[in-house]
Amino acid sequence: QAVDDSGHAVTNSVIKNVWPKEELFSMEFVKNTQQNVRFSIVSPGTSSAITLPELFMTVLDIDCNNKKGICETIESKDHHMYVAGDNVNVVKDGDKITATAKKHLNGEGNPVNTNLNEEQKSHALTLGWRNKPYFVLTMKVGRVWGSRAMMLSGISTHMWTQQTAAMKLPTPALVIPESDCAEAPSCLPISCAPQARANSTPSSTSVAFGALETWTCKPGYSVDGTPSGITAFNLACLSSGSFEEEGHQDCIDIDYCSRDPCGANGVCYDCSTQDCNLAPTQTTFLQRRGISGGLEFEATEHYACWCNEHFLTAVGSEGQLTCHTDCSGHSCGEGGSCVDLSVTQGASSDQFTCSCHWGHALVPNGGPDGGDTCSRIGCGPLSVENSDAHPSAELFAGDSALVHC
């Protein structure tokens, strides 16, 4: 956090960007500027700083080109110890130290992680703080073309070992006074282990306290047992290590006949509880092929309709199957089949028309009962000059004639 000399946060910071790089992170400064930067460790989800017994951080790649006046400077006042590399010059003024590079770093280049070579170690400064909720560094950059980045290691409660350290640090002496108190018990995180249920399966094998676990219903099941019901439910992991048992604890077998899709003119059979592949005389239904309507009994993927006498199956606009009045008492003749307008157009139950076969045409109100019918399409008399054709012969669509000259 960028702060002023009084420790107040500022909004016009000269820090242009901060980005991580494995165990390191860099701060990009506007050229020829300085900024006080406050570092702290906070609890997750809060803004409260935590005070720890010891904290350590290492400033890496401290560089200086005296000929061009491009130098990086680090100032610290509230540290309790520091270790500087061989090429880092430290000036003490009371509690304050000012660190700069003795020469330009021109060997192996910038560090990419905490595994430093000897030259990179010699341009590093490690600082330590004790019992501090935060600490402040003043960072300065010199004249460059546009901006300059300063590289730091992550804040740690442990000092680096020689193999991975920018600088070997002394191990602090930890004195633990004798106590008659019993050893404090350890606190372990609570988790829940979701188990598969009779009609649903969980999405994971372990869930942390307070988190939600999702169970997904098996095919043919829903949370409320209806065809349109949701097919998954969530339960929270409780402090007891088990899941809350409120609401639905498992999915319910869908009753596809609960809303009586066949209507009052037929009987519905739930195909999820019985075989819908046999004939109705065996209390089951014919095979579930593509439904077409116009049958006494027919099955969808989930349910079947066995229509009452004088009623046939009909297919709705969304593929639903139901039972409607058939065309009993009305015939379209051999040239067509009857269409119940109450199914296709929502007309009254006694309105019908005809769907005519090839070679036949619809004759409105031309049937013996005054309803629509289908009649063969006539082609008129055959007339061919200089032939034995008979002009009086009546031909219809699909007929053929042999003419002799």
* In the predicted structure, residue 53 carries a pLDDT above the cut 80: yes
Alpha carbon of 351 to those of 70, 158, 320, 374, 405: distances in Å? 97, 90, 22, 16, 52
Structure confidence at residue 350 (pLDDT):
65
Amino acid at 360: H
Percent of the chain clearing pLDDT 90 (strictly above) = 18
Beta bridge partners of 35: 139
Please provide the DSSP assignment of 3-53 as one string. E-TTS-B-SS-SEEEEEEETTEEEEEEETT-EEEEEEE-B-TTS-PBPPEE
181 DSSP 8-state letter = S
Instruction: Please report where in the chains the tokens 């070579």 appear, as a residue.
Output: 117
The pLDDT confidence band at residue 162, using thresholds 50, 70 and 90, is: very low
Structure confidence at residue 282 (pLDDT):
47
Please indicate whether residue 92 or residue 312 has the higher confidence score (pLDDT). 92
Structure confidence at residue 128 (pLDDT):
92
Alpha carbon of 190 to those of 207, 237, 239: distances in Å? 9, 9, 7
Domains and CATH numbers, the chain: 2-153 (no CATH), 190-254 (2.10.70.10), 266-325 (no CATH), 347-405 (no CATH)
Rounded mean pLDDT of 331-348?
A: 68
Instruction: Please report where in the chains the tokens 């031309």 appear, as a residue.
Output: 366
Please indicate whether residue 290 or residue 155 has the higher confidence score (pLDDT). 155
> Is residue 122 within 8 Å of residue 76, measured between CB atoms?
no
pLDDT digits (tens, 9 = 90+) for 234-284: 999 988 888 876 556 899 989 888 888 888 888 998 887 776 765 455 444
Please indicate whether residue 214 or residue 184 has the higher confidence score (pLDDT). 214
pLDDT digits (tens, 9 = 90+) for 376-392: 888 877 777 777 666 66
Alpha carbon of 157 to those of 84, 160, 317: distances in Å? 19, 10, 70
Structure confidence at residue 174 (pLDDT):
66
The pLDDT confidence band at residue 72, using thresholds 50, 70 and 90, is: confident
Measured in residues, the chain has a length of 405
Instruction: Please report where in the chains the tokens 């703080």 appear, as a residue.
Output: 129
Alpha carbon of 7 to those of 59, 137, 168: distances in Å? 21, 11, 31
Structure confidence at residue 89 (pLDDT):
92
Q: Minimum mean pLDDT among 68-82, 175-189, 207-221: which range?
A: 175-189
Provide the H-helix boundaries in 124-172: none
With 0-12 CB in 10 A as exposed, 13-18 as middle and 19+ as buried, what is 304?
buried
Rounded mean pLDDT of 358-366?
A: 87
pTM above 0.85, yes or no: no
218 DSSP 8-state letter = P
